[in-house]
Structure 1
Amino acid sequence: MTSYLTTSSPRFSAAPAMAPRYQDLLHRLTTAARTSIGFPCAVDIDYRPLGPLLGVLLNNLGDPQVDGIQPMHAKDIERDVLDFFAALFRAPAGWSGYVTSGGTEGTHYGLWLGRTRLPNAVAFHSAAAHYSVGKAEHLLGLPSVTVATLTNGEIDYADLHRQAARFRGRPAIVTANIGTTMTEAVDDLHRIHQALDDAGIIHRYVHADAALAGVPLAVTADRPAFDLADGADSISISGHKFFGTPLVCGVVIVRRGIDEPPAAIRYTGAPDTSISGSRTGLGAVMLAHALDVLGPSGLSERTRQARAVAAYTCRCLQQIGWPHWRNRDAFTVMLREPPASVRVRWRLPSSNGWSHIICVPGITTHQIDDFISDLDA
């Protein structure tokens, strides 16, 4: 009888060479990255030093504040990450949160808390909201109203007032876009609350979907009204966008935690306070690594550099006479839709005759020069 019990676990033995199919995948991805300027994924942070952690399980099971029975976790690091983002987004005492599977889960969690606290609420989101917002409202059984947008992609506050007034007797749950998917427009939380006040809405919950723009706006001197100190009840970001983590993840921070936290699950030893239950500990480690690499001043400097590349892109488009525009402080540059061959090569999404370039950290002026050459040709 063959025994599979050995004195040393195969998990920690020397790793074999990567199979050819995965080498081909790596080649395809690294090649595509050179002309991938249409989607938000920063490329300036090296996460390969964390490679040895791929040999172990990191399951941050249940509530991040309780370690639980299962020892293969990184909840201590997750708590440090949450403390950082709670301070960055000016959370009051009593805040809660966790590392999510991405921006979609963060928004779903915020809307879930809103529905829990306001069970008779109507949900409002703008026509420029991320597609996951409507999906989360549907999964939660929330009546959903789509609000018009201004020309720059920002929510139309007058239309929000009109739409909310139709449901004056019911609470409102509003998802604010802090950097829309296409134009990186930012909804003003003060104006959202004013619109709800004018509509006679007394009870409300506002979630800030800040997937890409939340962190760079938080380190901007003349910051807009978008975080927990400005009237958000919850805020979520994506880790794989501004930080470029190779594992899709995110963070959600809530003004106050669940009103009646559940008891610890006997099997796990931790309360089940998240949507996903089992959660990536590696995502928390990657976010912590990014913050360690950048340091206190790094967030501001790479934000400044990315905006400088966006401004450079606008100047280049101006020089060749190509129609374009850009929202204030945005990494995103809107440009009149290029020919199909250019869009395909540079991975540019399009909507209503417009495309965009997203100058996330790591995108260089050399890439922009190559793109402009293609476009001008």
Structure 2
Amino acid sequence: AKGTLRSEGSGEVAVEGLRTQVSPYQALPTSSKIVRNLAEAQPVMVFKNEEERKKAVSKVIKDYAALLKQRTATHMGYPYNLAFEYGDLDCLLKYCINNLGDPWIESNYGVHSRQFELGVLNWFAQLWEVDQKEYWGYITNCGTEGNLHGILVGRENLPDGILYSSEESHYSVFKAASMYRMDYRKVSSLATGEMDCEHLKTLLEENKDKPAIVNVNIGTTVKGAIDDLDRVIEILYDVGYTEERFYIHCDGALFGMMIPFIKEAPFVTFKKPIGSVSVSGHKFMGCPTPCGLVITRSKYIDALSDDIEYLNSRDATIMGSRNGHAAIYMWYTLTMKGYEGFTEDVKKCLKNAHYLHSLLFSKGIRTMLNERSSTVVFEKPNCGEFIRKWQLACQADIAHVVVMPNITKEKIDQFVGELMESRARA
């Protein structure tokens, strides 16, 4: 059952016609010592001979490309879809495409991709059920920027509000609280990683004289848990908050792009009283550069907007200059895949996550797979070399694999085989 800690033989839930074991694995302690592996610099080379310069640079790039190919082949730990192909867009790399300022207002700089950016935003607005006239948004440089912007909108509209977010939230949520000097409360989480709504209710009751800014996770970073948005809204009403006194930001970095294509999954929609949603573009969608987007209600954005004469535009974004290529990458992916393509990708990820979870379980390795999730949590391997090879994300005594479209059953078999070999050597 959801939220119940079991060591083996747990229950089953239906996911898109799939039977998936759910066996929460709780890790204690919640933090451990960080091993800092220092990066090495690639020196900027100096040559007097032009021919030698070109030859040396060519070798560096060739060697680096080979390294990227090798590292991509053994990547399992982070939520990046590496199965993408943007060869058709190579012709655009010679242009400095900059969507600086508000995407809805053209600036004096003409080399931009606003038309693609607005197309992407309108696609997500339709996905999350908000009318084009009632929303505002932009393409961000990363998922963190989406959280920073969503929480900033909440803070600007409710200046004395308290930020509430679960202890399993992405670090950028608490970074926002620090940057904006916000009062915040960490909400406890369940064994699955989901927000403990009863603890949230207690905290809200203790501080109900102050407005509430609540971050709801649509897939936590480590365990892939989805906070119960409907229950959060219900609690806010029960405690006595009106919609004018709370703001909800939904961090959908990875699963915000997946759950719309899963039957019976909890749905994120602006038909519910939420304030903003953010998602990453380089995660499930698969883009070659970090990017994302954030959408909020138009009525909220005026609280942090200023006209800038130098740009002949409006300042409502976190960053000034923004990667115009990212908008084209996202538009290209949405157009080439469509709803059908994303549905198939989600099915594949869930099926392979179930396969990995079952395989680990059969080998006697403690493991957890949340409902409607592709994040498989298991006990941290003892071999540091294995962790580095497969680029695993670890926290305390657990690690996880985020099953993305580029992870096949064959790669899972290789991964588990090498994991068992490393355990045998330990």
Same fold, judged at TM 0.5 (above): yes
Question: Which runs of structure 2 are paired with 1:278-357 in the superposition (5 Å)?
Answer: 278-340=321-383, 341-357=385-401
Tell me if structure 1 keeps the 8 A contact 2:195–2:227. Answer: yes
Partner of 2:279: 237
How far is the alpha carbon of 1:273 from its aligned partner? 1.4
Partner secondary structure for residue 85 of structure 2: coil
How far is the alpha carbon of 1:245 from its aligned partner? 0.7
Is 1:50 matched up with 2:94? no
Distance 2:367 2:397 in 1: 12
Is 1:253 matched up with 2:292? no
Which has the larger displacement, 147-156 or 344-353?
Answer: 344-353
Is 1:103 matched up with 2:147? no
Q: 1:111 to 1:49 in 2, by over 3 A?
A: same
Which has the larger displacement, 126-135 or 294-303?
Answer: 294-303
Q: Equivalent of 1:214, from 250, 256, 268?
A: 256
Is 1:112 matched up with 2:119? no
How far is the alpha carbon of 1:314 from its aligned partner? 1.6
How far is the alpha carbon of 1:52 from its aligned partner? 1.4
Letter in structure 1 aligned against 2:273: G
Partner secondary structure for residue 155 of structure 2: helix
Q: Equivalent of 1:359, from 382, 403, 406?
A: 403
Tell me if structure 2 keeps the 8 A contact 1:236–1:252. Answer: yes
Is 1:272 matched up with 2:315? yes
1:73-113 C-alpha deviation (Å, 9 max, x unpaired)? 00011000000011111224411100001111111111111
Distance 1:151 1:131 in 2: 19
Superposition RMSD on alpha carbons, in Å?
1.8
Partner of 1:368: 412
Distance 1:322 1:173 in 2: 39
Letter in structure 2 aligned against 1:29: L
Q: Equivalent of 1:143, from 177, 183, 188?
A: 183
The aligned length equals 363
How far is the alpha carbon of 1:16 from its aligned partner? 10
Q: 1:261 to 1:321 in 2, by over 3 A?
A: closer
Distance 1:107 1:262 in 2: 17
Q: 1:121 to 1:262 in 2, by over 3 A?
A: closer
Letter in structure 1 aligned against 2:376: V
Tell me if structure 1 keeps the 8 A contact 2:378–2:400. Answer: yes
Q: 1:291 to 1:332 in 2, by over 3 A?
A: same
Partner of 1:19: 58
Partner of 2:237: 197
How far is the alpha carbon of 1:48 from its aligned partner? 2.6
Partner secondary structure for residue 258 of structure 2: helix
Letter in structure 1 aligned against 2:323: T
Distance 2:365 2:103 in 1: 49
Q: 1:201 to 1:130 in 2, by over 3 A?
A: same
Partner secondary structure for residue 227 of structure 1: coil
1:3-42 C-alpha deviation (Å, 9 max, x unpaired)? xxxxxxxxxxxx9996322222222221111111010110
TM-score normalised over the length of structure 2 = 0.82
Distance 1:89 1:141 in 2: 30
Distance 2:151 2:364 in 1: 44
Letter in structure 1 aligned against 2:354: A
Partner secondary structure for residue 142 of structure 1: coil
How far is the alpha carbon of 1:51 from its aligned partner? 1.3
How far is the alpha carbon of 1:55 from its aligned partner? 0.2
How far is the alpha carbon of 1:349 from its aligned partner? 1.9
Distance 1:261 1:348 in 2: 39
Distance 1:176 1:67 in 2: 33
How far is the alpha carbon of 1:166 from its aligned partner? 1.4
How far is the alpha carbon of 1:231 from its aligned partner? 3.0
How far is the alpha carbon of 1:265 from its aligned partner? 2.3
Letter in structure 2 aligned against 1:223: A
Distance 2:347 2:204 in 1: 38
Partner secondary structure for residue 110 of structure 1: helix
Q: 1:125 to 1:254 in 2, by over 3 A?
A: same
Partner of 1:224: 266
Distance 2:288 2:121 in 1: 19
Tell me if structure 1 keeps the 8 A contact 2:219–2:225. Answer: yes
How far is the alpha carbon of 1:125 from its aligned partner? 0.8
Partner of 1:172: 212
Partner secondary structure for residue 251 of structure 1: strand
1:104-156 C-alpha deviation (Å, 9 max, x unpaired)? 11111111111111011011111000001101111111101111000100000
Tell me if structure 1 keeps the 8 A contact 2:224–2:373. Answer: yes
Letter in structure 2 aligned against 1:242: F
Tell me if structure 2 keeps the 8 A contact 1:100–1:106. Answer: yes
Letter in structure 2 aligned against 1:282: H
Percent sequence identity over matched residues?
33
In the alignment, structure 2 segments of 5+ residues that lack a partner are 1-53, 422-426
How far is the alpha carbon of 1:261 from its aligned partner? 7.3
Distance 1:259 1:335 in 2: 45
How far is the alpha carbon of 1:262 from its aligned partner? 4.3
Distance 1:288 1:16 in 2: 37
TM-score normalised over the length of structure 1 = 0.92
